[in-house]
Amino acid sequence: MAEPMGFYTDTTVCIGCKACEVACKEWNQLPATAGGANTMSGDSYDNTRRLDGIHWRHVKFIEQFPESRQDGRWLLMSDVCKHCVQAACLEVCPTGAIIRTEFDTVVIQSNTCNGCRDCIAACPFGVIDMNPVSGTAQKCTLCYDRLQNGLEPACSKACPTDSIQFGTISELRARAQKRVDQLHQTGENRAYLYGADEKMLGGLNSFYLLVDRPEVYGLPPEPKMPSRNLVPGSVYTVLGAIMVGLAGLFSFRDRTSSLGTGPGPEVRP
Amino acid sequence: MIDAPSSTWFTTNPHWQWYIVLYFFIGGLAGGCYFLAALIDHLGRVEDRPLARLGYYVAFPAVLLSGLLLTLDLSRPLRFWHMLIERNTFEPMFKAWSPMSIGSWALLAFGLFSFISFMGALAEEDRLRWPAFRRLQWPAFRTTRPPAVTGLIVAVLGGLAGLFVAGYTGVLLAVTNRPIWSDTPLLGMLFIVSAASTSTALLMLLAQRYGWRALPGVAALQRMDGLVLALELLVLAAVVVSLGSALRGWLNAWGALLLFGVIIPGLIVPLVLSWRQRRFTEASIATMAALVLIGGFLLRVVVIFSSETI
């Protein structure tokens, strides 16, 4: 397997130009609108609104302004699939459509997906959704086709400020840590890395430098694997089955006489 | 989002709607009715055999309908077989840790058992008299009914598969990252108990419709419905407690529907009716059964849509 590859996104240098969104749509031939419907957010410059089956990149505009408007800031963040090392979508996919590639990225094979949508419910980041054109679940592939041909993903290639950086995970982590240290030295002590270590789902192959709490950016503070509920959920269900069985035994307890061999009385439904 | 009660609030809904609600309800009835029929086959009296057959007559069409609903819910229905066969290698597709994968196989296995028992029930009543049936030796399905050993085995395995189908759906919801569904591990337990209560109610309702009120098995079903309804109320209370801060997802119209559409009319009123059944007429038994069925359906509506709308 090639060395794990991914994205490091430094949100402090994102200018919200959306070049990444455009490059992604162009390269992956994603429609600009959903079946001709162009839904505007109405209260923000962010009209992409969310990641889904036709928006694999989404520049979030987080506007932090008080009522007085005397102070404030824009937080801008180009969001994308996290290509988790422990991927919830891959774990639950019942068709085997979701695979891990030789670059340690996570890809949905559109020719195999049957649109059961279990992966949408499983993704802790709300990244995946249906593509109405293909009728399958879709998300960022980290430009798997470009990677296979030695090219950089379209979004990071187009990013004019290097907010989105592409490379090997080990190299990106070192670079990101240097940037955090630099920001701390300049007084921006809120800077930290989200998902850069193994504690979060084994590590996110697309991780972020943030300067506010994760939830401010619409990121879950504690993303978890769906399988955390598999054993307890199954045990409780078996317990429920036992209770139902006991209720049945108790209810039929005084009629334990054996069944006859005949077809029974001539009553028919 | 900043004040979200749980990390599950940051996820996207999978658009599981009416097909899934109907599947959860009808699949629960299929599994529950088969389980009850198997129970009656093993513990009932000889005069209860029509009641057992009734369970099998419900289970097979219900499981067929379940498969149809699940297929229709897929965005690419013609690829339904990808659940069972890996599309690229054509090898069996099975993931023991994915409830949807196990559930697909369980539904297939349960479909097979319910078909055998359905045919067995028809054969027992000598309803396979058409020449075509005779030529294909289908009346031989009579051996798949107890007290034949094969019949006992089929009923036990099918009953277990039925319980699995009735309960795994709750585990499937829990093994996601969606609000409410994955905020409690108890939905499987709730669904399996609810499947038992709705199936008992359906068999009671049908038995009454066919004038079988005097069968000893019907009285046992009434006793059982009272027990599982009490159990369901307790499990639902445990679900509410286990949700913790995620209970916020039910502090709205869905919570009101849960209280006024499920808990009071679908659980408490039928429980009271079942405890005082001797004072009530046949009509009130039918009312009780209908309330349990409607409550069981609305329970699934609340569970699915309360999360879907977050």
Give the pLDDT confidence score for residue A254 in this predicted structure. 62
Q: Where are the alpha helices (DSSP H) in chain A?
A: 19-28, 88-92, 118-122, 144-148, 154-158, 169-185, 230-251
- Number of neighbours of residue A260 by Cβ within 10 angstroms: 13
Torsion of CA B234, B238, B239, B240, to 10 degrees: 100
Q: Which amino acid is at A20?
A: C
Measured between CB atoms, which of B12, B77, B190 is closest to A123? B12
Banded pLDDT at A264 (limits 50, 70, 90): very low
- CB-based contact, B213 to chain A, within 8 Å: no
For B285-289, which contacts have Cβ atoms below 8 Å and span 24 or more sequence positions?
B285/B204, B285/B208, B285/B222, B286/B205, B286/B208, B288/B201, B288/B225, B289/B201, B289/B202, B289/B204, B289/B205, B289/B208, B289/B225
Q: Do A121 and B1 touch (CB under 8 A)?
A: no
pLDDT at B173: 97
Percentages of chain A per state (helix, strand, coil), in multiples of 5 = 30, 20, 50
A256: alpha, beta or left, given left = phi > 0 and alpha = psi -120 to 50?
alpha
Q: Per residue in A91-120, pLDDT tens?
A: 999 999 999 999 999 999 999 999 999 999
* Better-scored residue on pLDDT, A39 or A106: A106
Taking an 8 Å cut-off on Cβ atoms, the answer to whether B76 and A52 are in contact is no
What the block records as the tokens of B129 is 């008299």
Q: For A150, phi and psi rounded to 5 degrees? A: 75, 20
Give yes or no for A50 touching B (CB within 8 A).
Answer: yes
Q: What pLDDT does residue A263 have? A: 41
**Can you tell me the ipTM of this complex?**
0.94
The residue ranges of chain B whose pLDDT is under 70 are 1, 277-282
| Shortest distance, CA A224 to any CA of chain B (angstroms) | 8
Q: Which residues of A touch B223 (CB under 8 A)?
A: 250-251
Least confident of A124-128, A210-214, B73-77, B86-90: B86-90
Flag whether residue B45 sits within 8 Å of chain A, measured between CB atoms. yes
What are the tens digits of pLDDT across the range A51-90?
A: 999 999 999 999 888 888 888 889 999 999 999 999 999 9
Phi, psi angle pair for A84, to nearest 5° = -55, 145
Closest to A136 measured CA to CA, from A54, A57, A56: A54
Query: In this model, does residue A258 exceed pLDDT 90?
Result: no
Residue A77 contacts B where some CB pair is shorter than 8 Å: no
Query: Which residues in A lie closer than 8 A to residue B182 (C-beta atoms)?
Result: 226, 229
Q: What is the pLDDT of residue A257?
A: 41
Residue-level pLDDT at B280: 55
Find all residues with CB under 8 Å of A182, minimum gap 6, and list them: none
Chain A residues with CB under 8 Å of B187 CB are: 233
Instruction: Supply the angle between the helices B187-209 and B18-43 in degrees, to the nearest 10.
Output: 70
Question: What b-and-e string marks burial along A68-101, b requiring 16 or more CB atoms within 10 Å of the CB?
Answer: eeeeeeebbbbbbbbbbbbbbbbbbbbbbbbbeb
Chain A residues touching B231 at Cβ < 8 A: 243-244, 247
Q: Which residues of B touch A131 (CB under 8 A)?
A: none
Q: Which pLDDT value is given to residue A72?
A: 87
Report the residue of B176, B184, B200, B305 to disrupt the A interface, i.e. the one with the largest count of A CBs within 10 Å. B176
DSSP A238: H
The answer, for B193 touching chain A at a CB cutoff of 8 Å, is yes
Asked if the Cβ–Cβ distance from B185 to A264 is below 8 Å, we say: no
List of chain A residues whose C-beta atoms are within 8 Å of the C-beta of residue B118: none
Contacts of A50 in chain B (CB under 8 A): 12
A to B CB pairs, distance under 8 Å: 262
Does the beta carbon of B47 lie under 8 angstroms from any beta carbon of chain A? yes
The 3-state secondary structure of chain B, one letter per residue:
CCCCCCHHHHCCCCCCCHHHHHHHHHHHHHHHHHHHHHHHHHHCCHHHHHHHHHHHHHHHHHHHHHHHHHHHHCCCHHHHHHHCECCCCCCECCCCCCHHHHHHHHHHHHHHHHHHHHHHHHHHCCCCCCHHHHHCCHHHHHHHCCCCHHHHHHHHHHHHHHHHHHHHHHHHHHCCCCCCHHHCCCHHHHHHHHHHHHHHHHHHHHHHHCCCCCCHHHHHHHHHHHHHHHHHHHHHHHHHHHHHHHHHHHCCHHHHHHHHHHHHHHHHHHHHHHHCHHHCCHHHHHHHHHHHHHHHHHHHHHHHHHHHCC
Question: Chain A residue with minimal CA distance to B43?
Answer: A256
Determine the Cα–Cα distance for residues B177 and B174; give it in Å rounded to an integer: 8
Whether pLDDT at A136 is above 90: yes
- Residue B235, chain A, CB below 8 Å: the answer is yes
Residues of A in contact with B170 (CB under 8 A): 233, 237
Residues of A in contact with B98 (CB under 8 A): 91-94, 118
Q: CA B222, A246, B184: angle at the middle one, nearest 5?
A: 100
A247 touches chain B (CB under 8 A): yes
Query: With an 8 Å Cβ cutoff, are B47 and A265 in contact?
Result: yes
pLDDT at A177 over 90: yes
The verdict on a CB contact (< 8 Å) between A223 and B189 is no
Within 10 angstroms of residue B233's Cβ, the number of other Cβ atoms is: 17
